[in-house]
Amino acid sequence: MAAYMIQAPTINEIRDARVRIRDIAHITPVLTSDTLDRLSGASLFFKCENLQKGGAFKFRGATNTVAQLSDEDAARGVATHSSGNHAQALAIAARERGIPAFIVMPKSAPAVKRAAVLGYGAEVIPCESTQVAREAMLNKVVARTGATFIHPYDDPRVVAGQGTAALELMDQAPELDLIITPIGGGGLISGTTIAVHATQPNTEVVAGEPFGADEAYRSLKSGQRLPSIEPKTIADGLLTGIGAIGFHVLTSHGIRIVRVTDEQIVDAMRLVWERMKLIIEPSAAVPLAAALGAEMEIQGKRVGIIFSGGNVDLGRLPF
């Protein structure tokens, strides 16, 4: 497997990414809800990455990375292993540049996600569901094709792309006291943290994480990066353990992680569907669940919440 860099991007790299992708990625809207403001006692501003191309913020990082490949590397295509939003994002980014994409997907991945990746023109290579099997198959694909491996979160180009959502949010909703994102591998929270602390150092950044997949929380508590072992949560986009970049950024910036139950996630997701008429996936509901929880004290504050995605299997809704 091709090696990938693990240093975090700089604020200038995030700004460069914003320029690089501005004509490809959507500038997603920021919406508000009087009902949710009353429930929370705060002014909430929702950055709707569920309306991004591919249905998630992941398109930003994938596009920024694919755009920086040399013509020679790009001609051989890109590859990754993913069962979710990164797979779709990379497939679209590759299609936009007119290059091949090879996506290793576990056989257990929902059929709707496999169909979406195929629909975007990528080649899907099935594998068993274990991490070892996914990585082994990816190695074979890279060896066969010469494609460049694009990591879902442990690549500074990917993280820089994800940070552009926070730059947009701060322009669209100025003077925020707090910004909350979900955390899985750590790409979104890392890009957000770097962007916010470099431009609005008085704005706090918080990560929301499910109790059933709280490797990031436990990693920060223990002082060492812990693997994801048998995570169990409805937030299927947050099942992976925190990456090297994410661990470094969160540790060095002292980011707080607030954990929520699956019941809180479902309640928050349903609120958004019913009151805001927006389709968000369980992972995207995690930061709202955190904001509405007893641990957060947000009354009277201006709070930005990044809805990370809206890719839902409509045949398996939790309500």
Which tens digit of pLDDT belongs to each residue from 239-248?
A: 888 999 999 9
pLDDT above 50 for 15: yes
What local confidence, expressed as pLDDT, does residue 5 receive?
47
Across the chain, what does the average pLDDT equal? 94
249-298, pLDDT tens digit by residue? 999 999 999 999 999 999 999 999 999 999 999 999 999 999 999 899 99
Q: Do the beta carbons of residue 249 and residue 282 sit within 8 Å?
A: no
What local confidence, expressed as pLDDT, does residue 40 receive?
96
List domains and CATH numbers for the chain.
Answer: 11-56+155-316 (3.40.50.1100), 59-149 (3.40.50.1100)
What local confidence, expressed as pLDDT, does residue 3 receive?
43
Tell me the average pLDDT across 28-41.
97
What local confidence, expressed as pLDDT, does residue 318 receive?
87
What local confidence, expressed as pLDDT, does residue 153 receive?
95
What local confidence, expressed as pLDDT, does residue 132 receive?
83
What local confidence, expressed as pLDDT, does residue 112 receive?
79
Cα–Cα distance for residue pair 113/103, rounded to 1 Å: 12
What local confidence, expressed as pLDDT, does residue 122 receive?
96
What local confidence, expressed as pLDDT, does residue 26 receive?
97
What local confidence, expressed as pLDDT, does residue 130 receive?
76
Min mean pLDDT across 51-55, 80-84, 167-171, 281-285 is at 80-84
Tell me the average pLDDT across 76-87.
92
Which of 252, 247, 251, 269 minimizes the C-alpha distance to 260? 269
Q: 295: burial class by Cβ within 10 Å (0-12, 13-18, 19+)?
A: exposed
% of the chain residues with pLDDT over 90: 85
Q: Do the beta carbons of residue 299 and residue 292 sit within 8 Å?
A: no
Which of 233, 135, 220, 230 minimizes the C-alpha distance to 186? 220
107-156, pLDDT tens digit by residue? 877 777 889 999 999 999 999 877 788 889 999 999 999 999 999 999 99
Binned at pLDDT 50, 70 and 90, residue 229 comes out as confident
Min mean pLDDT across 52-56, 74-78, 148-152, 225-229 is at 225-229
Q: Where are the alpha helices (DSSP H) in the chain?
A: 11-21, 34-40, 58-67, 71-75, 85-97, 111-119, 131-145, 156-172, 187-199, 215-222, 244-253, 262-271, 282-292
206-222, pLDDT tens digit by residue? 999 999 999 999 999 99
The greatest distance separating any two alpha carbons of the chain, rounded to the nearest whole angstrom, comes to 57
Binned at pLDDT 50, 70 and 90, residue 106 comes out as confident
